[in-house]
Homo-oligomer: A and B are copies of this chain.
Amino acid sequence: MDRRVTKKNDDASGKERPTLKTLAFMTGLGVTTVSRALKDAPEIGAETRRRVQLVAKQIGYRPNRAGVRLRTGKTNVISLVLNTEHELMSFVSDIIYGVTEVIADTPYHLIVTPYSRSQDPLDPVRYLVETGSADGVIISRTQPNDPRARYMLEHGVPFATHGRTDMGLVHPYHDFDNYAFAGEAVRALAGKGRNRLALVTPPVGLTYFRYTVNGFADALSEVGASEVPFNTVSIDHTIEQIRMRTAQLMRRDDRPDGIISSAAAATLAVVAGIEDAGLKLGRDVDVVSKQSSEVLHLFRRELLVVNEDFRLAGSELARAVLGWIAGKEPGSLQSLSKPSEVLPYRG
């Protein structure tokens, strides 16, 4: 008996993962027709289309990603580029969850591309672009003049930035309105009679540093309060550094009676520093802080908080990149999220 080697997938034998060839065999059509039928191409008869799609669903056909990617260059991948040292912790998981929520019912996968402090932030982006590893990229820690954004624009790679740029170039972004946040915070403190205010800033160099500082400054003159400079730390510093510097600050004669903090982790340190200096929150000084989860009021109920929703940011960023990939205007894919009110503790 002549037992020829059978070309693996010509039969619908069962065990192997179905391909277009399998579908073609089962429907009695050509591979090309099947391919087109599945993507609703116009030159396929309505009945054929339905038949193919039915069979495909029945046997659980899933296009082979490698095949598509090799042929078309489309990766069906979104990459989230993260700094593995600076990024605040809770921040990251929330963004990831936000992104995954949006891409859940798309064919996209999310890959996390890390880079460390020692590296040029452009490195991972260059890698992604050069190797064509993603259809879209999301970056954070955005700078006013951001080489990564410029690079991707030049190379025609869709992306979205967490935070705005200021280069006269238009691209999708999502940002929290830190100008408004700082302003609200100042007004809230002024409302409590505080008029010598200090600011724990975002990392110098990032765009939202500017927005925060400007919002702070404008509101200060608006309410007639004055600034107590506190430039020695930012929220990128360690807990210990912030705590120590805050304690130093609070022991001075010209200490502030109100502090605004741009991140929850920093706030923990700030409060510790205040207490190290023998002062009491709510009595000697009030603190307004951003937070991304309801944690600060458990810490000290005297704190005033403003909520920033990073899961929302993740979703918005994902929507933005997908939109750009789908051909929408980059300029129409920008969003700014307003801060919540300044919230006191309510038991």
- Which A residues form the contact surface with B (CB < 8 A)? 17, 60, 62, 64-67, 69-70, 75, 77, 82, 84, 87, 89-94, 96-97, 100-101, 104, 109-114, 130-133, 239, 243, 265, 268-269, 271-272, 293-295, 298-299
Contact = CB atoms under 8 A, between A and B. Distances in A.
Contacts of A295: 239, 265, 268
Give the number of times this chain occurs in the complex, counting copies: 2
A62 B109 contact: no
B65 A131 contact: yes
How would you classify the secondary structure of chain A's contact residues: helix, strand, loop or mixed?
Answer: helix
B110 A97 contact: no
A96 B92 contact: yes
A89 B94 contact: yes
Contact of A111 (B84, B93, B109): B109
Interface centre among A243, A269, A298 (most CB of B within 10 A): A298
* Best-buried of A66, A84, A104, A299 by chain B (most CB within 10 Å): A66
A66 B77 CA distance: 12
Nearest to A110: B112
Contact of A17 (B17, B60, B89, B132): B132
Contacts of A87: 93
A101 B116 CA distance: 9
The 9 closest A-B pairs by CB, nearest first: A92-B93, A66-B69, A66-B70, A100-B114, A268-B298, A89-B90, A84-B97, A89-B93, A272-B298
